[in-house]
Chains A and B, each alone.
Chain A
Amino acid sequence: MSRYIMSRVLQAVLVLVGATFVIFVITFALPGDPVQALAGERAADPAFAEAIRARYHLDEPLLQQYVRFLAGALHGDLGQTYSGQDVAQMLGERIWVSAQLAAFALAFQIVIGVGAGVLSALRRNGVADTGVRIFTLAGLSIPFFVTAFVLQLVVGVKFGWLPVAGTEDGFLSYIMPGFVLGSLSTAYVARLTRGQLAESLREDYVRMATAKGLTRVRVVAHHALRNSLIPVVTFLGLEVGALLSGAVITESIFNIPGMGQAMARAVYLGERTTVVGVVTVFVFVYVVANLLVDLLYAVLDPRIRYA
């Protein structure tokens, strides 16, 4: 098993280097001169442009810049934004914000998604099941930024139940954006849980457990559900990565100072260091999440062995 992990970690390093290089090259293709973007509405003064290019080594060839980035990154130095902020430090602050948002989204997916799925499977074709199916259909088909604007106007502005934007109200601030971010996958989790559980409930071992005289709750929760959750857990594991990186629009709408927001602006400004820094973190999270999910397979299903 440790040999398997070792080889996976090695692969991960290769993926990281490859991904950062590809992103690095792509940022050169972004339209517009980043120095001009810094200057806002006026044409950048040539002396200023020259000073900035020299300071951030923008005048060097692509490969030399990449090697410089890589050497810095190995020392934990991701460089600076063109307005002078330390990228590593900025990401350190922002990843925490994004992690909280992702945690809320994940919590919604688990609580609402699995809950609705179970309810639906137990009362198949009943009123609850139909209700859940309608809601999940809506969740899957309404673009999440529409959900975001509608919730912001209704829950935030009209009723004032939750803060409209920002993070200054602590955990209350994360409820609405967390729900929006998780909404699409919540519907997916509910449908997945429903299907799996409905199938499990027809299995022999469930009938056996019921025959043993166990309570309905124990049969469903301990025997049927546990087995049905295997694909759900796999899905959620991969979802962690998607939630961190998929928050670009949600963070912008709800004014949450996370990684997605930094990414969106950096792309617009053509700020190579920030784009590459954020992507490095995204890739890292994805690689780790993937590895964990693969390892989890072996845990969930003893028939899978990594020798």
Chain B
Amino acid sequence: MFLQIRGMVAIGLTSVLLASVASCGGSEAGKKTGAFSAAILEPSSLMPANYSEVYGAQVVSALFTPLVTFDIKTNETRLEVAESVESTDNKVWKVRLKPGWTFHNGEPVTSRSFVDAWNFAANKKSAQLNAYVFGDIKGYREVASGAEETMSGLRVVDDLNFEITLVRPWSQFRQLLGYPAFSPLPSVAYKDPKAFEQRPIGNGPFVMEGAWQHDQQITLRRNDSYAGTKAKAGEVQFKIYQSFDTAYNDLLANNLDVLPAIPTARSTEAKSLLGDRFGESPSGRMEYLGFPVNGEKFTSPGVRRAISMAIDRDAITKAIFKGTRTPATGFVPPVVPGAAADACGALCVHDAAAAKAAFDAAGGIPGGGFTIGYNSDAPENKEWVEAAARQISKDLGVNVETKAYPKLAVLLGDLSSGKVDTAFRTAWTFYFPSPENYLKPLFTQDAGENFSRYRNDKFEALLRDGAAAKDTEAADAKYAEAERVLLDDMPYVPLWYQGVMVGHSKRVSDVSVDSFRRLRIESVVVK
């Protein structure tokens, strides 16, 4: 009997081993001509209105093309599926589509494809994470609450024309239309959204090849009947990693073609190892030190400005971030068209004497010291928060403590519910390239992310003026003015703008990453 069992175990073990030998072969995408591989992390969703991070955006943008897109260098808005997007009053927007756009299954892209997709996304039953971006369309509230199925502000004129009515004038709405959540969906999407998400059918430059293999890969093939500028590479294999450290090793071992986010810890080494196959690009992400402005310690704008001047952004970005982040010079990063140059001026430059003088003039901090809360699940947070705390403590002569939250979700949850009474680390990434996107969602009184509970009527009036402005220059002037008000009040201290480091293999060229930190896969050339 012992022998029999031993035999069975042996047979079982051998068969498992043999089966895995048989399944060998796997994907050969990396070796096919015209094909390359790129690293991503597991996307949270592939529905245009439901993803939460860069990697969802990466895949969704390859599969779907919205009405407008943004120039990779200047971030200027360019018409894509739209022939024109016009408004005379910034409130009623008339969209005209270019004829000839189709989904990957052959269905033509019409006004309905957009209107139905937006109504679906806004609907409570769909539970789409990014539904809030439709919030300024008339009738959004009714659809979001489940009372209505369609937003009254969306009106289909004919196959190629439709109208969007907003609840307020909004000059920046054309830019918002480039956010992937505004992508069209084919009618098949609504029949079984869950199945659709595993293999979305879009109108973008790439077609999904096979289903989404969770935590393994997503393979895309070039859409040869794409109505826009066709992609250069024939096939892209997105390899899904748990961490980019592993992906970086894979790049060095030549098993990966493009890594769009080299870990900071490996940056120095990567620069010398990869040479001209290493690149850096700026992005629209920035980081702040925030204050609960109604808390007793932080009510004084003078104190907040003093803290800003006590932080040596230069030293921290060089020593801790290895130059991958650049010191902030305002609330709007330079990658945004219309951003004011060096709006912050001396307030964002380290000056120990000026900081101390401003601090004393403002009467100091009640209780003598304060605490900075941060989430410790991001690798560099602990390092820089402690460094900043030491600098502030030294320059202002106060005791600065730090408090670690185990996860970002915990910190964000506490910030949302107003439980945080300490200073805190926070970050923001734009979802459309306009100065307004760095001001309104963070610092207006009814914004969901106004973690500092800041309120300034003059600031909000300026934003309203910008939204009603007749042209871009007039709007940008108003936003610049609003930014100055904000800098004077300093509810958040702008710290630095984040860049990305990208590395690639010898097989590919023309590798670029846009300000949304998406690898522009359509322009990558396979040698």
Taking CB atoms, residues of chain A closer than 8 Å to B249 are 152-153, 156-157, 164-165
Taking CB atoms, residues of chain B closer than 8 Å to A106 are 13
From the candidates A100, A103, A168, name the one contacting B27 in the complex (CB within 8 A). A168
Query: Is the C-beta of A5 less than 8 angstroms from some C-beta in chain B?
Result: no
Contact mask for chain B residues 380-424; partner A; CB cutoff 8 A; 1 contact, 0 none: 000000000000000000000000001111101101100000000
Residue among A31, A46, A99, A269 with the most chain B CB within 10 A? A31
Contact B409 A33 (CB under 8 A): yes
Assembly CA distance A33 to B419 (angstroms): 14
Contact A157 B252 (CB under 8 A): yes
Contact B246 A254 (CB under 8 A): yes
Taking CB atoms, residues of chain B closer than 8 Å to A76 are none
Within 8 A of B (CB), among A266-307: 268-270, 296, 299-300
Query: Is the C-beta of B124 less than 8 angstroms from some C-beta in chain A?
Result: yes
Within 8 A of A (CB), among B1-21: 1-2, 5, 13, 16-17, 19-21
B127 to chain A, nearest CB (A): 4
Main secondary structure on A side of the interface with B: helix
Contact mask for chain B residues 66-77; partner A; CB cutoff 8 A; 1 contact, 0 none: 000000000000
Q: A39-B129, A42-B449, A84-B197 are in contact. Are A255 and B242 (CB under 8 A)?
A: yes
Taking CB atoms, residues of chain A closer than 8 Å to B449 are 42-43
Assembly CA distance A157 to B245 (angstroms): 12
A267 to chain B, nearest CB (A): 11
Stretch of B161-169, B210-218, B357-365 with 4 or more beta carbons under 8 angstroms from chain A: B210-218
Contact B44 A38 (CB under 8 A): yes
Query: Is the C-beta of B458 less than 8 angstroms from some C-beta in chain A?
Result: no
Query: Is the C-beta of A195 less than 8 angstroms from some C-beta in chain B?
Result: no
Chain A residue at smallest Cβ distance from B15: A103
B124 to chain A, nearest CB (A): 5
Contact mask for chain B residues 240-279; partner A; CB cutoff 8 A; 1 contact, 0 none: 0111001101101111000000000000000000000000
Q: Count of chain A residues with Cβ under 8 Å from any Cβ of B?
A: 63
Chain A residue at smallest Cβ distance from B377: A268
From the candidates B53, B131, B246, name the one contacting A41 in the complex (CB within 8 A). B53
Q: A41-B53, A52-B127 are in contact. Are A257 and B214 (CB under 8 A)?
A: yes
Assembly CA distance A77 to B443 (angstroms): 45
Q: A84-B197, A160-B253, A252-B242 are in contact. Are A170 and B23 (CB under 8 A)?
A: yes
Contact A47 B131 (CB under 8 A): yes
Residue among A36, A104, A174 with the most chain B CB within 10 A? A36
Chain B residue at smallest Cβ distance from A230: B2
Interface range, B side: 35 or more
Contact A170 B21 (CB under 8 A): yes
Taking CB atoms, residues of chain A closer than 8 Å to B216 are 166-168, 257
Assembly CA distance A37 to B416 (angstroms): 13
Contact A164 B246 (CB under 8 A): yes
Contact B144 A47 (CB under 8 A): yes
Taking CB atoms, residues of chain A closer than 8 Å to B25 are 170
From the candidates B127, B415, B448, name the one contacting A55 in the complex (CB within 8 A). B127
Taking CB atoms, residues of chain A closer than 8 Å to B448 are 43, 45-46
Contact B2 A48 (CB under 8 A): no
Chain A residue at smallest Cβ distance from B1: A299
Contact B412 A48 (CB under 8 A): no
Contact A171 B413 (CB under 8 A): no
A69 to chain B, nearest CB (A): 20
Query: Is the C-beta of B52 less than 8 angstroms from some C-beta in chain A?
Result: yes
Chain B residue at smallest Cβ distance from A269: B409
Taking CB atoms, residues of chain A closer than 8 Å to B147 are none
Q: A47-B132, A169-B24 are in contact. Are A85 and B214 (CB under 8 A)?
A: yes
Contact B253 A48 (CB under 8 A): no
Assembly CA distance A81 to B124 (angstroms): 19
B277 to chain A, nearest CB (A): 16
Contact B52 A39 (CB under 8 A): yes
Q: A36-B412, A164-B249, A252-B243 are in contact. Are A257 and B215 (CB under 8 A)?
A: yes
Chain A residue at smallest Cβ distance from B23: A170
Contact A100 B16 (CB under 8 A): yes
Query: Is the C-beta of A90 less than 8 angstroms from some C-beta in chain B?
Result: yes
Assembly CA distance A123 to B144 (angstroms): 77
From the candidates B24, B52, B214, name the one contacting A38 in the complex (CB within 8 A). B52
B59 to chain A, nearest CB (A): 14
Q: A84-B197, A255-B241 are in contact. Are A164 and B217 (CB under 8 A)?
A: no
Q: A160-B253, A170-B26 are in contact. List 13 more A-B contacts (CB 8 A).
A: A31-B407, A31-B410, A44-B129, A47-B131, A47-B132, A55-B127, A164-B249, A165-B250, A171-B17, A171-B24, A226-B2, A257-B215, A300-B2
Show the binding face of A for B, using Cβ within 8 Å.
31-34, 36-48, 50-52, 55, 83-85, 90, 99-100, 103-104, 106-107, 152-153, 156-157, 160, 163-172, 174, 226, 252-255, 257, 261-262, 264-265, 268-270, 296, 299-300
A-B contact pairs, 19 of them (CB 8 A): A36-B412, A39-B52, A39-B129, A40-B44, A42-B52, A47-B144, A48-B128, A50-B124, A103-B16, A104-B17, A168-B26, A169-B26, A170-B23, A253-B246, A254-B246, A255-B246, A270-B409, A299-B1, A300-B2
